[in-house]
Amino acid sequence: MRVAVHQMTSGVLPAANASEMIGAIEAAAHGGAVMYFAPEMSIMINRRRDEARLHIFEEAQTESIEHIAEAALRNKIWVHLGSIPVVHGAGPQLANRSIVISANGEIIARYDKIHLFDVDLKSGESWRESSAFVGGETPVIVDTPLGRMGLAVCYDMRFPDLFSAYAKAGVDIITLPSAFTVPTGAAHWHALLRARAIESECFVIAAAQCGAHEDGRETYGHSLVVDPWGEVVLDMGSTPGLAFVDLNLDKIAEVRQQIPVHQNRRAIAEPRFYE
């Protein structure tokens, strides 16, 4: 199964980013991909929240979603939108939402990022995602042409309980669209994504933002596809573009037969403390 991974340097204008994505979706379909993957905040990256808020609406009123769904239908390709900001419920808070669109142009799955990025880095960068966004509550699995797909976003990758739940449910693919900072990316990106693939014995597809953005932030890039053995089968480096990779889905069963962690897994009790 061929997939297309889009590494972006998204700007502050949703229409321009959506136009780039639609062109990449068309190129992905022409290149034989059955599914296209975009990064976190594919539609817009703008740390100036008052300015960004002017372009964020409820999902049903977000024109970019409609245009991308039309492109999926027109090109008969599945689309993973990465994630986009949408108004959550009655507002004013937002959700960082992953959306999966079928080749019929229908939205078939939604996942709101559960773990919010509230950190102070040694580099001096400070992020408070929870000041604007509300975290999701529920993991989401969706059937796709690639198999059962578990959805997650960026900072989620640091919380193994989420991926243990996906592993127990027998997912074949985990998606992790991201906009990783450069310091944390250099330190942990490859290690964490390989770990998530190895422990779940599934493919991990992580489309990423890269480079210097219009709002002044910089992201790490290195969109990855990792196979169930933990081997990196695609690393897109630090420049934007569209890349293709052919997934050997038989590798999932081969690895699970070789190291049967799913059969060997045991329920873990609460730890016993000795004083």
Could you give the residue numbers annotated as active site? 40, 113, 154
Q: Please report, for residues 90, 173, 185, 274, the alpha-carbon distance to residue 125 in angstroms, rounded to integers and kept in the order given.
A: 31, 32, 14, 39
CA distance 4 to 17: 17
DSSP state of 117: -
**Nearest to 41, CA basis, from 27, 55, 28:** 55
Q: Please report, for residues 76, 100, 119, 268, the alpha-carbon distance to residue 79 in angstroms, rounded to integers and kept in the order given.
A: 10, 6, 31, 37
User: Helix (H, G, I), strand (E, B), or coil: what is residue 187?
Assistant: helix
CA distance 242 to 8: 9
Query: The tokens of 10 are what?
Result: 């998204």
Q: Please report, for residues 85, 152, 199, 234, 269, the alpha-carbon distance to residue 160 in angstroms, rounded to integers and kept in the order given.
A: 24, 11, 9, 23, 16
CA distance 154 to 175: 9
